[in-house]
Amino acid sequence: MINDAAENTIDLARQENVSRILDAAERLFRHYGYSKTTVADIARDLGMSPANVYRFFASKVEIHQAICGRMLALSYQMAYDACHLPISASDRLRRFVQGQYQMTVETMLDQEKVHEMVVVAIERDWHVIERHVDSIHELLADVIREGIAAGEFAEQDADVASRCFGAATISLCHPQMVAQCLAKTNRATVDELVEFTIRALKK
C-alpha cells in the first residue's frame, strides 16, 4: 500500500512537470513561433535546466507532438459533444462542421505563430493526427448510421459515407485551407458546403 501511494505521488509529480513544460512551450511557440523557440528557452521560462526538460521529453519535436495531441483532444471533445446532441443526424453534422470551423478560425489561426505550429505538425504527418482523423470518422459514421436507421439518410455504407463527408468538408477544418480561403469571395460558404454534403447523404 505504501509503495502504491509512493508510485502515485511520483506519477502525479511527473504529470505536473509534463503539464508545466507543455504549457510553457505552447505559450512560447505562440509568442515567438515554433522555429524560433528552443528547449533552452522553454527551460529558462520554467526556471529549470534544459537537462531537466529532457528528462520528460527527448526533443523539441516530441514536445510539439504532445502539444498537438492536446489540441486534437480538445477538437475531438467538441466533435463528440456535437455528435451526441439530442437532435437530428443532419443537425448534428451541421453542428460538428460549424464547431470545427469556428475552432480552426479562432484557436489555430488567431496568430501567425499558432498557424506555423499547426502547419509544422501537419507537414510531419504525425500518427497523432492520423489517429484523430480515424476517431472523427468513427464519430461521423455513427451519426450517419443513426440517420440511416431513422430514414433521414439513404441506405449506404456509413463508414464510406463518413470518409466522403470528411473529405468534402475538409476545407472548413484544415488550418492551411481555411487560412487560404478566408478572404476568398469565390469559395462556397460554410453553410453552402454543409448543406450540399448533407443532401448527398439523403440521395
Q: What is the pLDDT along the chain (203 residues), one digit of tens a residue?
A: 555 554 556 577 788 999 999 999 989 988 888 889 999 999 999 999 999 999 999 999 899 888 888 888 888 999 999 999 999 999 999 999 999 888 888 776 555 556 667 677 767 666 778 888 899 999 999 999 999 999 999 999 999 999 999 999 988 887 767 767 676 778 888 899 999 999 999 98
Task: Report d(CA 119, CA 121) in Å as an integer.
Answer: 5
**Contact at 8 Å (CB) between 117 and 69?**
no
**CB neighbours of residue 64 within 10 Å:** 22
Q: Which of 130, 115, 23, 113 is nearest to 66 (CA)?
A: 23
Tell me if the pTM is above 0.85.
no
Domains parsed from the chain with CATH numbers = 1-58 (1.10.10.60), 59-201 (1.10.357.10)
Residue corresponding to grid cell 509503495: 3
Phi, psi of 67 (to 5 degrees): -65, -45
